[in-house]
Amino acid sequence: MSRKKKIKSGLGTGFFTFLSLVYVVPIVVVLFNSFKKKTFINIEPFKLPREETFVGLENYANSISHYDFLKAVGWTLFITVGSVAVILLCTSMFAWYITRVRSGFTKTAYLLCVFSMVVPFQMVMFTLSLVTDRLGLGTPWGLIIIYLGFGAGLAVFMFCGFVKSIPVEIEEAALIDGCSPLRMFFSVVLPIMKPTYISVGILETMWIWNDFLLPYLTLDTNKYKTISIVIQYMKGSYGRVDMGAIMAALIMAVIPVIVFYLSLQKHIIKGVAAGAVKG
């Protein structure tokens, strides 16, 4: 390797190392503060816990017992799993249909899905809130339908790219063998689409698990609260903030999705690359 390439490689490594620290340091700071007394979180936010400031798992116990955190985890898990399952099933079948059936309707449907990704959420948020109230969708079950609408654009785009790479001859052979379109999809097409299923599932899971605005606008917060809403409610009235409980809740909310992403991150690149240059 020439000296010029070594310098470029070193600069690139240094830049991305610095960028990684920019993302990791805030999480580490929150982790340290989750073990401190709430008084010292504001006074010494960047110092390690010591004997005087260390409270062990007290902040975690407070966030669970005083703020119904476990109940919020249950609702968040239900909404996330349900929404991702519905998005994957509906958008993959829709993408397969509009890719294989060439007509004015399918072309228009594809363009509308792609266009939905560039429309700012602020343009529809007030209308969405009004429609949700009138249709009675202010429940976790209704929120799953709403997530299907907002998550369909990216999912259809990725699935269409991958379906174009599947040889039509495979489906024609299955049709000759007597497969119905529905059986062909579940027995032939779906197993081939596994890399994109995993990629879309990871991206949608991270978005829905961490989302605050959609649940806050649509859910009846007197009955249903997600993790992000509970953390927001930990800020009391008249400026009273339980920083210790908030830090502990943030760590408990972030760790599952980090572990989930790290365990499946290789599939994101594989799934995106599989359909990125097809067409």
CA dihedral 38, 41, 42, 43 (to 10 degrees): 110
- pLDDT score for 47: 83
154 occurs within a structural domain:
yes
- Asked if residue 133 lies in contact with residue 200, where contact means CB atoms within 8 angstroms, the answer is no
48 occurs within a structural domain:
no
The C-alpha angle with vertex 186 and arms to 102 and 96, in degrees rounded to 5, equals 20
Which residues of the chain carry a pLDDT beneath 50?
237-238, 276-279
Distance from C-alpha of 261 to C-alpha of 265, rounded to nearest angstrom: 5
Q: What is the DSSP letter of 188?
A: I
Structural domain that includes position 77: 57-276
13 occurs within a structural domain:
no
Closest CA to 96 of 84, 86, 83, 106: 106
- pLDDT score for 159: 92
- pLDDT score for 26: 87
Distance, CA of 47 to chain centre: 32
**How many domains in the chain?**
1
Q: How many angstroms separate the Cα of 64 from the Cα of each of 81, 110, 203, 253?
A: 22, 44, 28, 12
Kindly report the CATH number assigned to the domain that includes residue 184.
Answer: 1.10.3720.10
Whole-structure pTM value: 0.84
249 occurs within a structural domain:
yes
22 occurs within a structural domain:
no
Q: For 79-91, what is each residue's pLDDT tens digit?
A: 999 999 999 999 9
